[in-house]
Structure 1
Amino acid sequence: MSVSALIRRGTPQPCRPVPRHLLAPEDFARLPVALLEEPGVALLSMWAEPGFVHVALLEEASATLLLASSPAEGGRYPALSPARPGAVRFERMIRDLWGLQAEGAADLRPWLDHGRWPLTAPLSARPLRNQVPAEQPVFLPVEGEGWHQIPVGPVHAGVIESGHFRFTVQGELVVRLEQRLGYNHKGTLGLMLGKSPRTAARFAARLSGDSTVAHSLAFAEAAEAATATTPPPRAIWLRAAMLELERIANHLGDWGAVCNDASFAWPQARCGLLREGLLRANFEAFGHRLMMDRVTPGGVAAEPMPSGIAAILAALAAVEAELPALAAVYDSHASLQDRVVGTGVVTAALAAGFAAGGVVGRASGRGFDARLAFPNGPYAGGPPRLALREEGDVDARLRVRAAEIPESIRLVRRILATLPPGEIYAPLPQQGGEGLALVEGFRGEIVTWMALDDGGLIRAVFPRDPSWLQWPLLEAAMQDNIVADFPLCNKSFNCSYSGVDL
């Protein structure tokens, strides 16, 4: 039986834009085998509620979303990680937060819970007081001779997020890299529960600061889907402009940072100057450099200032004028090319197996972009041209970013030139419902699911950052590379720590 047929055997639950099917445990147990037989069905996300586990899948060829749930009888459910390796960290997270265990899982070590929380399984129906002393983290064993380990983090040089990396090396060659995250856990899901979407939107905007627009938009669209609310057209177009401005700023930052980690500081200085000009224009237009809290459920918080629109167009013109020179400098320095070409390769098979989105996926041949698969607003009338590479190395990831910048500039100009008139906000009704949203942030697609109770308050929510499915690929990319290449590989991915630590 196909995956879609198996899921549709379940009882449909009202959810927009597609129903969520409640499967009997025995049918959910058949999912791993069905997934093994259909590699074209991607795992998008997994999460839970007390007593239930949920999964979001995507039939890639038809861009069809599939949502499935199952009761976790006795606190257990069949693991999907034997069929989809991207499920591993979701299953570890579900065990930490909800106390539900995946039977037959590939890995059940703690993920978010480092043994220092006052309660275990804090989002379960009955959290228990933690009375066990915290233990040292367990890393995967390594067999053979002549290897040693290098621990890095969780505290790093510079102002970056905290995360631990354990390198197993032979000489300078990396045999294995393993990550340990969770140091930025903030209890965000618990903080959102019982609040209105408008109040909880501030938490979504702070899940990962460099993706504040993308996470806010996915959260808002999930709330709007749950309540069958359609924002005004002007708000939809302003949101798209902000989303593309966020993409340009982050791609510029990453372009410069990759070059800097190869000891070539000039591109970082130039990219930093261009990015700063764009952020100042954002502030003049929207009142915040990162446009935080400007996207709200129902629309946007305020109209952009006319002088700010002019400042944005001027900043975009400055970026566009310098892109050819930046590309020429990047291409012409042999020492830089030597560091990035062939370094940190992610194969097409791995990118497809983990359903990696964004730059990481598109640099390895996986041509998925939520703006193309599920277009709305300005994307429906003029979608971006897809930047796709096959090499899967640091160079390919940088070139995908560089190709996306002029596309986003083109989109912002068209959006600002054709903004529909009218209102910018539509209030959400205080009612129950359930919704799912996909938004293409600069890292890839964000998948946010939300369920509201009859009073319109959040009963359950799960925002899935793209980094959930990209962090494991960084581990794979570092194999057979040297330790000194880790900053290059890490920055070429630029995964979010905070976005997965929730």
Structure 2
Amino acid sequence: MRINAFGFPGLVRLSAFAGKSSAFRARVDAHTWTRTAGTVRDAGGRLISVWGTEEAADRFVISAAYALEDGILWLQLPADDRHESGGYGYPDLSAVFPCATRMQRAVYDLLGLRAIGAEDTRPWLNHGNWAADYHPLRKRSSGTERFEPSQDADYPFVPVAGDGVHEIAVGPIHAGVIEPGHFRFSVVGEKVLRLEERLGYAHRGIEKLFQRTPWLLGQRLAARIAGDSTVAFSWAYCMAVERAFEVRIPPRAQWLRALLLERERIANHLGDLGALGNDAGFAYGLAAFSRLKEDWLRVNDQCFGHRYLMDRIAPGGMATDLDPRCIPAMLTQCEQIDAEVRAMQAIYDDQSGLQDRFAGAGIVSAKVAEHFGVCGLVGRASGRKIDVRVDHPYAPYHEVQVRAVSDDRGDVAARVAVRFNEIYESLRLLRALLSDLPGGHVVTPVEHAGAPSCGVGWIEGWRGDVFIAVETGADGTLLRCHCHDPSWHNWPALEHAIIGNIVADFPLINKSFNLNYAGHDL
């Protein structure tokens, strides 16, 4: 279904993407808000994100972004309805899109806006040590000076009853050097009956920090949302700002951005493939892929000045250009990595122990993937062929076309296979980008026109689609910058993937998802 088919009064087309997609924004009433959600679902669209904004003191707006055939539909609803607790509210979306549940819980913690009619209203980011009237994204909050615990810190996990059922608590502090998250397993023997996650421990107030950040420096903050997705978040932020200010970036900068994004994708897949081998008891896989990833990151540093490509993308284009002398070295590395990864895939396929652990573990069925709106490589491994580079190609992907990679099995083996095949496809894209890299300059000056504006950025990162929406004031300041990581959709699916498996398989299944804590806890 196309966005114009909705017939919204006052539908505004935001500045078009450079490519084959665009975004539209409309302000609606509560009835249209609810009706549109059902229509989008029935038309095969999906919910990307839900977030709230305080436009002025005690004047709130709730937003939802949907992915449709011809781009993004951004709906805004004034959240002026009062519910029984005396606060502000808006109609619940989780009954239509279950993936909205945790987003709506986070909206309440950050702004105090309640999803009216929602079944799950437990806190998400508030772990019991915020004052009762403190909501960090409000312009004023009487609780900001007193942070004593305002509620029972014992989170109400959903209990599972039955003979022999017991609980295993894991985290939030883990044995490895990873971010915090709590996992509560309900098990009989070693078989998992239910898993419930408790996240939000890595909340750093990123969206609040954006309100104190000049828009020309916002990409530096975006780059630090998640260190393994610095290119995706930086590009999404810059795209949102460029669309808000109607800036067209140079073709060379567009191609260089895609070059960085595909290098980021390959680096993460190399690391994950090694870790997955290690979690299945194949230490050689970790050693081999760690070496390949290290070689890859060193070339990043040599050619772009940063191993993880941080701060290379800036509003208007690129902060640095690519030295032509680096192109032959990068093309040579593509050939070497291609050959070595194919050799490692043959080894993985021939290892019966690995395949026994991978096959049939952590299955996410197509039905579950659709139910939760699972996206990215996890969705593609369950037959859900969603890739923004293919479905809504932004420059230069409308010229250098991506061949979609997918698998229908939905298990760990499928997620491993998707990673291998995405490496090969990204290497093909890198060769094409490097062979036909346009000349010219790499940045266009970005100037604010002096009027309030808004824009969205939508990028297919290595985990899935990264979405950023910005609203600027008349003086060009950032009034609101909402950042969305694909892990919001995929964490609930992990809870289903472990059901029926044994507890000892959870690290392997969890790594096959490799979801984001920090990017999810903004």
TM-score (norm 2): 0.92
Letter in 1 for 2:50: M
Deviation at 1:32, TM superposition (A): 4.9
* Counterpart check, 1:49 vs 2:56: no
Note closer, same or farther for the CA distance 1:342–1:196 as it changes in structure 2 (3 Å cut).
Answer: same
Q: Which stretch of the first structure deviates more once superposed, 492-501 or 451-460?
A: 451-460
* Counterpart check, 1:446 vs 2:466: yes
Do 2:135 and 2:141's aligned partners in 1 also have CA atoms closer than 8 Å? yes
Note closer, same or farther for the CA distance 1:33–1:373 as it changes in structure 2 (3 Å cut).
Answer: closer
Q: State the partner residue of 2:480.
A: 460
- Distance across 2 between alignment mates of 1:491 and 1:412: 26
Q: State the partner residue of 2:35.
A: 30
- Distance across 2 between alignment mates of 1:3 and 1:308: 43
Letter in 2 for 1:112: L
Note closer, same or farther for the CA distance 1:39–1:237 as it changes in structure 2 (3 Å cut).
Answer: same
Q: Which stretch of the first structure deviates more once superposed, 345-354 or 80-89?
A: 345-354
- Distance across 2 between alignment mates of 1:318 and 1:29: 53
* Counterpart check, 1:121 vs 2:135: yes
Q: Which stretch of the first structure deviates more once superposed, 387-396 or 197-206?
A: 197-206
- Distance across 2 between alignment mates of 1:28 and 1:289: 44
- Which one of the candidate residues 254, 266, 275 is aligned to 2:272? 254
- Distance across 1 between alignment mates of 2:110 and 2:2: 27
* Counterpart check, 1:155 vs 2:173: yes
- Which one of the candidate residues 98, 105, 120 is aligned to 1:107? 120
Deviation string 1:301-341 (CA, Å, 9 cap, x unpaired) is 11123444344333322211112211111111111111110
Q: State the partner residue of 1:9.
A: 8
Q: State the partner residue of 2:302.
A: 284
Letter in 1 for 2:464: G
* Counterpart check, 1:97 vs 2:87: no
Structure 1, unaligned runs of 5 or more: none
Letter in 2 for 1:121: H
Do 2:366 and 2:382's aligned partners in 1 also have CA atoms closer than 8 Å? yes
Do 2:312 and 2:319's aligned partners in 1 also have CA atoms closer than 8 Å? yes
- Distance across 1 between alignment mates of 2:156 and 2:99: 20
- Distance across 2 between alignment mates of 1:128 and 1:179: 31
Do 1:154 and 1:163's aligned partners in 2 also have CA atoms closer than 8 Å? yes
Secondary structure at the counterpart of residue 120 of structure 1: coil
Note closer, same or farther for the CA distance 1:134–1:310 as it changes in structure 2 (3 Å cut).
Answer: farther
Do 2:24 and 2:72's aligned partners in 1 also have CA atoms closer than 8 Å? no
Deviation at 1:379, TM superposition (A): 1.4
Deviation at 1:419, TM superposition (A): 1.3
Secondary structure at the counterpart of residue 23 of structure 2: coil
* Counterpart check, 1:164 vs 2:199: no
The alignment yields a C-alpha RMSD, in angstroms, of 1.8
Using the aligned pairs only, state the percent identity. 43
Secondary structure at the counterpart of residue 248 of structure 2: coil
Deviation string 1:34-90 (CA, Å, 9 cap, x unpaired) is 456x1612111111102110001123xx34422211111131000000111110111
Do 2:400 and 2:433's aligned partners in 1 also have CA atoms closer than 8 Å? no
* Counterpart check, 1:220 vs 2:268: no
Letter in 1 for 2:440: G
Do 2:182 and 2:197's aligned partners in 1 also have CA atoms closer than 8 Å? yes
Q: State the partner residue of 2:44.
A: 40
Q: Which stretch of the first structure deviates more once superposed, 213-222 or 449-458?
A: 449-458
- Distance across 1 between alignment mates of 2:235 and 2:469: 12
* Counterpart check, 1:433 vs 2:453: yes
Deviation at 1:137, TM superposition (A): 1.5
How many pairs were matched up?
498
Deviation at 1:14, TM superposition (A): 5.9
Q: State the partner residue of 2:218.
A: 200
Secondary structure at the counterpart of residue 18 of structure 1: strand
Deviation string 1:173-200 (CA, Å, 9 cap, x unpaired) is 0111111111111100000014332212
* Counterpart check, 1:324 vs 2:347: no
Q: State the partner residue of 2:521.
A: 501
Do 1:155 and 1:162's aligned partners in 2 also have CA atoms closer than 8 Å? yes
Note closer, same or farther for the CA distance 1:407–1:197 as it changes in structure 2 (3 Å cut).
Answer: same
* Counterpart check, 1:65 vs 2:69: no
| 1:261-272 equivalence runs, <5 A | 261-272=279-290
Secondary structure at the counterpart of residue 27 of structure 1: helix
Q: State the partner residue of 2:428.
A: 410
Letter in 1 for 2:130: W
Deviation at 1:3, TM superposition (A): 10
Letter in 2 for 1:18: A
Do 2:463 and 2:486's aligned partners in 1 also have CA atoms closer than 8 Å? yes
Do 1:31 and 1:80's aligned partners in 2 also have CA atoms closer than 8 Å? no
- Distance across 2 between alignment mates of 1:283 and 1:481: 41
Do 2:102 and 2:124's aligned partners in 1 also have CA atoms closer than 8 Å? yes
Do 1:15 and 1:433's aligned partners in 2 also have CA atoms closer than 8 Å? no
Letter in 2 for 1:71: P
Q: State the partner residue of 1:235.
A: 253
Q: Which stretch of the first structure deviates more once superposed, 411-420 or 332-341?
A: 411-420
Do 2:282 and 2:354's aligned partners in 1 also have CA atoms closer than 8 Å? yes
Do 1:274 and 1:318's aligned partners in 2 also have CA atoms closer than 8 Å? no
Do 2:470 and 2:478's aligned partners in 1 also have CA atoms closer than 8 Å? yes
Structure 2, unaligned runs of 5 or more: 16-21, 55-59, 83-87
Deviation string 1:449-478 (CA, Å, 9 cap, x unpaired) is 111111111111111111010000000101
Do 2:223 and 2:230's aligned partners in 1 also have CA atoms closer than 8 Å? yes
Q: State the partner residue of 2:201.
A: 183
- Distance across 1 between alignment mates of 2:243 and 2:158: 42
Deviation at 1:159, TM superposition (A): 1.3
Note closer, same or farther for the CA distance 1:238–1:370 as it changes in structure 2 (3 Å cut).
Answer: same
